[in-house]
Amino acid sequence: MTPRLDSTVCLVSPSIDPTFCPGTPLKLGIMASGNGSNFEAIAQAIKDEKLNAQIQVLVYNNPEVYAPVRAANWGIPSVLLNHRDYNSREDLDRQIVKTLQQYDVELVVMAGWMRLVSSVLIDAFPNKIINLHPSLLPSFKGSRAVEQALLTGVKITGCTVHLVCLEMDSGQILMQAAVPVLANDTPETLHARIQVQEHKILPQAIALFAESFNS
């Protein structure tokens, strides 16, 4: 008999104990292009002492998004760097680097950042930039990953935290969570369930990085 997939079960790998890691708090710079719910998940994990870090600054690229409102509610500074104001991706990244360095950032977290980054940013923070992507990489790279999963008919998708490299969505995988795809799923319902897991694994992946940073 084929076992039934329990739609409530979501698997996270690697599994870690989400306890407070002693040492110097890791200084984070968060980059976001939208609602900022993952930014808030990180801030809440810090408040709950599940993550030994502090958010130095939020960088956002769209003046109409809600993320800076969340940052203000947490008393965290935010900086708008509208990509439309720059002639090239490299010019934008130079200003991002300058801003992150001004705030003494040690780890850059792309939490819903919807712009490709260049070697300017990657070289300034080598192996210190992580990204959250709504699929089980290496499947469904790039934009509209949730829609891609539904179109191909997979039974399981999820989300991934990975190191950022020049090739899109291809850096070393740090943590993943698997999410079942239901027969009646729409992009909205599936994305909502994936996002629940995003809020869990992003702070945990940062905690893993912080542990190695303080070791």
Q: How far apart are CA 30 and CA 144, in angstroms?
A: 22
Return contacts of 154-159, CB within 8 angstroms, 24+ apart.
154/181, 155/5, 155/180, 155/181, 156/5, 156/180, 156/181, 157/181, 157/190, 157/194, 158/10, 158/194, 158/197, 159/132, 159/133, 159/134, 159/135, 159/194, 159/197, 159/198, 159/201
Residue 163 assigned as binding residue: no
Residue 151 assigned as binding residue: no
Residue 114 assigned as binding residue: yes
Residue 89 assigned as binding residue: yes
Residue of 133, 162, 191, 199 marked active site: 133
Residue 38 assigned as binding residue: yes
Residue 116 assigned as binding residue: yes
**Is 162 annotated in the active site?**
no
Q: How far apart are CA 150 and CA 57, in angstroms?
A: 35
Helix, strand counts (H, E) of the chain: 6, 8
168, 133 in Cβ contact below 8 A?
no
Residue 112 assigned as binding residue: no
Residue 36 assigned as binding residue: yes
Residue 52 assigned as binding residue: no
SS3 assignment, position 176: strand
Would you please indicate which residues are annotated as catalytic (active-site) residues?
A: 133
Residues that constitute the known binding site for (6R)-10-formyltetrahydrofolate? 89, 114-117, 131
Q: Which residues are annotated as a binding site?
A: 36-38, 89, 114-117, 131
